[in-house]
Amino acid sequence: MKKVLFIFLCVGVIIISACGESTSAINESVLPTVPSNYANLTNPLSTDAAIAGGEIFQSTCATCHGSGGHGDGPAGAALNPPPKDLSVLQLQVSDGYLFWRISEGSPGTAMVAWRGILTDEQIWQLTAYIRTLK
């Protein structure tokens, strides 16, 4: 009986330490530096562009990112790395960052480069929309 308790304890410790690691990995994750040709860009469109951006987002991005951009779209569930919660990310990054990532994607992940598929105007509309996510 003591042996069983001991095993339970060990499993408990392993689970707790695994959880601890994953939380600290999120906290310590550092966002990449925006390349200089994107770094100083600001959205040339007005905030009204978020309306058109929202339509593109729902048809093109929501399958992975979720309709509210929280990273919970049906096609996003199985991805590694998973899509980030854009409502949180947008508070931490510049317009240039969002424009860069949507244009060039995130190499080695399911986030492809959308430049060439979408126009610069559409990418700025998406950037305006992502700014409205809560």
Selected from 7, 81, 88, 120, the binder of ligand HEC by CB under 6 A is 81
Q: Which among 19-27, 35-43, 44-52, 98-106 is the span making contact with ligand HEC, rule CB under 6 A?
A: 98-106
Smallest separation, CB 43 to ligand HEC (Å): 13
C-alpha 94/C-alpha 97 separation (Å) is: 5
CB of 86 closer than 8 Å to CB of 65: yes
Q: Which among 6-14, 17-25, 40-48, 102-110 is the span making contact with ligand HEC, rule CB under 6 A?
A: 102-110
Which DSSP state fits 118? B
Which DSSP state fits 115? B
C-alpha 42/C-alpha 45 separation (Å) is: 9
Within residues 30-69, the interface with ligand HEC by CB under 6 A covers 60-61, 63-65
C-alpha 41/C-alpha 101 separation (Å) is: 13
Catalog residues that contact ligand HEC under the rule CB under 6 A: 60-61, 63-65, 75, 79, 81-84, 86, 89, 98, 101-102, 106, 109-111, 114, 126
